Chains A and B, each alone.
Chain A
Amino acid sequence: MKSFSKIKSIQKRLTAKECSCVELTQQYLNGIGQKNEKLNAYTCITAETALDTAKKVDEKIARGEALGPIEGVPMTLKANISTRGLETNCCSKILQGYKPVYDATVWKLLKEQGAVLLGKSNMDEFAMGSSCETSCYGGAKNPHDLSRVAGGSSGGAASAVSSGLAAYGIGSDTGGSIRQPASFCGIVGLKPTYGAVSRYGLIAYASSFDQIGPLTTCSEDAALLFDILSKKDACDSTSVGACHASVPALQQSLEGKRIGVAAEYFDGLREGVQAALDDAGRVYEKLGAKLVPLSIPEIRYALPVYYILACAEASSNLSRYDGIRYGMKAEHYTGVNDMIEKTRSAGFGKEVKHRILLGTYVLSAGYYDAYYKKAQLLRRQIRKAFTAAFTQCDFLLAPTVPMTAFPLGFTSQDAVETYQTDICTVPVNIVGLPAVSVPCGTDENKMPVGMQLIGNTGREDVILNAAYQYELKTRT
């Protein structure tokens, strides 16, 4: 089996004793030391614990024991995934100093497998943004062009993986926050089926949309990590685990597969993105698959539905930040309500406040029916439309973003225009489907373009198989 796996190649070096895990980890830490000032991918570096873990891996190798599938491989976690005793602040001032007293289930699973955590990666504040620039630390930059954004919200993880400062990253995707930065930085990003991966310990933005997934250099690593992370978890009542293991499916032929191409995803693409997607379609035809043109008109409701529902959930989720139990607390105040208002006003950034206000508005008396309830009903309709589409095809092919990485500062100019760049990523979060962004060439500025493969519920195996077969055909 031809392999592009970064994880496997690292493990091969370790077991062949080309280098020790401590040496390897130190190389990564040195790389971070050299490049992070420019890229701003990491917001905290955990050198000591990384080297401790690496030492244990070396001892295991010295004893002649076999390594687990991801053991000893250096990686990063997004700053909204709880790590016991290690600051987890969502890149928000309001959570400065917050050290969780428990581990997120994903981190527990990875730690058990001997993952080497290099540090926490940068993100838009509370995962609200498409550029990573709403982070209280400033945005992560794109390794392909430092004058452009890494994307968001998992921009730090994408920037780190793309520039070789981590073998893989774990991010979260509420409306595209794994896939969009993966697309902008030229790497693979998987948003699993809602419920496949436990959200326990993921600091919530919009609970019915949030899903944790991997950012990797290839689809094989995404499959490997998905199979490890997709476990049913008693701590998350929405967790169901995986329906199908994805690694065993990678080798399957695409002969006779039907790939749905929904016209709505291809409206208003930049020329370079359109051309790259056309090429990808031709690759799939060469692999024996058939492109099936179809239409999902309900996609036109996706953006307003997403912003109404996600902001409504955010306004409720973020009401917990009151200065009393964790995070920052106003120093001077004249009463309990005043303390809460002063804490929240000083602690939240502009974008977070906007979304809380919008969410509060659509949930308030007199507007609930017109906005929140209507959006919930349309969410059902969109779901039905996707279910119908999957009677005609095995998976969908779409762009991940209508454009490539935008210049730094672009997103602060027009709120609605910025939201519209999410048009291709939000539909699957609304309906809970899995989708993976896979690099498929570059535009005229040599910036990476991502294609999105969207699967039916629980069919990560189908889209990762298609992603792997594409890489086999196109990568050298």
Chain B
Amino acid sequence: MVTHEDVRKIAKLAKLEVEESELDGLTKDMNEIISFADTIASVNADDEGYSDPNDLENVLREDIIQPSLSQDEVLANAKDTDGSSFVVSQHA
């Protein structure tokens, strides 16, 4: 059973604010979805260790320097920069 307190805690972990007015609705929805997810909790599944479900294997390449984005391109979409770094003020 998911409680208001659980939702507040998860929201904190996910860096989301939850308004008091949203809490009832969110808790109800979460409970519905979690009880739906619970349908697999009692199913037996052998623990064979993790392996990729699509049978893909790691693809590795030689460690050779390749062209990448320029500093200007990397900063192009940021709201605040000083021309060479992302800027995050303590207050705004």
Contact = CB atoms under 8 A, between A and B. Distances in A.
Contacts of A326: 77-78
Interface of A: 97-99, 101-102, 194-195, 208, 234, 237-238, 240, 301, 303-305, 307-308, 315, 319, 322-337, 339-342, 344-345, 348, 353-354, 356-358, 360-362, 364, 370-371, 374-381, 383, 414-416, 419, 430-432, 457
3 pairs of A and B residues whose beta carbons are closest in the complex: A326-B77, A377-B45, A432-B54
B39 interface: yes
Q: How big is chain B's contact interface, by range?
A: 35 or more
Contacts of A332: 92
Given A326-B78, A419-B36, A335 B53 contact: no
B40 A305 contact: yes
A308 B41 CA distance: 11
B13 to A, nearest CB: 5
Given A99-B76, A101-B73, A357-B7, A416 B32 contact: yes
A341 B17 contact: yes
A331 B50 CA distance: 43
A307 B77 contact: no
A238 B76 CA distance: 28
B29 interface: yes
A102 B17 contact: no
A350 to B, nearest CB: 9
Interface of B: 2, 6-7, 10-11, 13-17, 26, 29-30, 32-34, 36-37, 39-41, 43, 45-48, 50-51, 53-56, 58-59, 61, 69, 73-74, 76-80, 86, 88, 90-92
For the complex, would chain B's binding face be called helix, strand, loop or mixed by DSSP majority? Answer: loop
B4 to A, nearest CB: 13
A306 to B, nearest CB: 10
B56 A374 contact: no
Given A307-B37, A325-B78, A361-B30, A240 B16 contact: no
Most chain A CB within a 10 A radius of its CB, from B32, B39, B54: B54
B37 A371 contact: yes
B56 A240 contact: yes
Contacts of A383: 53-54
Contact of A430 (B2, B29, B48, B53): B53
